[in-house]
Amino acid sequence: MDFNLNVIKKEDYDVVVVGGGIAGIAASVSAARNGANVLLIEKQINLGGLATGGLISWYEPLCDGKGNQMIYGIAEELIKLSAKYGFDNIPEKWGGSGIHPPKSQRYATRYATLFSPTVFSAALDEFVLENGVNIRFDSRATYPVMDGNICKGIIVESVSGSEFFGAKAVIDATGDALVMHRAGVPTVEGENFMTYLVHMYDMEDVKKLIKTGDICRFRRWVGRGSDMFGNGHPEGMGMLKGVTSEDITDYVITGKKSMLEYVKTLDKDGFDIMTLPTMPQLRTIRRIVGKCDFNAIDGETFADSIGSCGDFRPRHIGKHYQIPKGALYNEKFPNLFAAGRIISAPKGDGWEVARVIPTCALTGEAAGKIAAHI
Binding residues (CB under 6 A) for ligand FAD: these are: 18-24, 41-44, 49-51, 56, 58-60, 140-141, 173-175, 178, 195, 279, 281-283, 340-341, 355-357, 360
Quote the CA–CA distance of 201 and 173 in Å, as a whole number. 32
Of 190 and 326, nearer to ligand FAD (C-beta) is 190
Is residue 112 within 8 Å of residue 59, measured between CB atoms?
Answer: yes
Continuous H helices in the chain: 22-33, 73-84, 117-130, 178-183, 203-212, 245-263, 349-354, 357-372
Of 255 and 324, nearer to ligand FAD (C-beta) is 255
Radius of gyration of the chain (CA): 20
Of 44 and 89, nearer to ligand FAD (C-beta) is 44
Kindly report the CA angle at 176 between 171 and 178, in degrees rounded to 5? 60
Rounded to the nearest whole angstrom, what is the least distance from the CB of residue 316 to ligand FAD in the complex?
Answer: 14
Rounded to the nearest whole angstrom, what is the least distance from the CB of residue 339 to ligand FAD in the complex?
Answer: 7
Nearest to 123 by CA among 167, 72, 84, 176: 84
Of 36 and 47, nearer to ligand FAD (C-beta) is 47
Rounded to the nearest whole angstrom, what is the least distance from the CB of residue 340 to ligand FAD in the complex?
Answer: 2
Question: How far, in whole angstroms, is CA 45 from its chain's centroid?
Answer: 15
Of 190 and 303, nearer to ligand FAD (C-beta) is 190
How far are the Cα atoms of 8, 99, 163, 205, 225 from residue 5, in angstroms, in the given order? 8, 58, 11, 57, 46
In the DSSP assignment, the letter for residue 320 is: -
Rounded to the nearest whole angstrom, what is the least distance from the CB of residue 234 to ligand FAD in the complex?
Answer: 15
Rounded to the nearest whole angstrom, what is the least distance from the CB of residue 102 to ligand FAD in the complex?
Answer: 13
Rounded to the nearest whole angstrom, what is the least distance from the CB of residue 197 to ligand FAD in the complex?
Answer: 6
Of 23 and 370, nearer to ligand FAD (C-beta) is 23
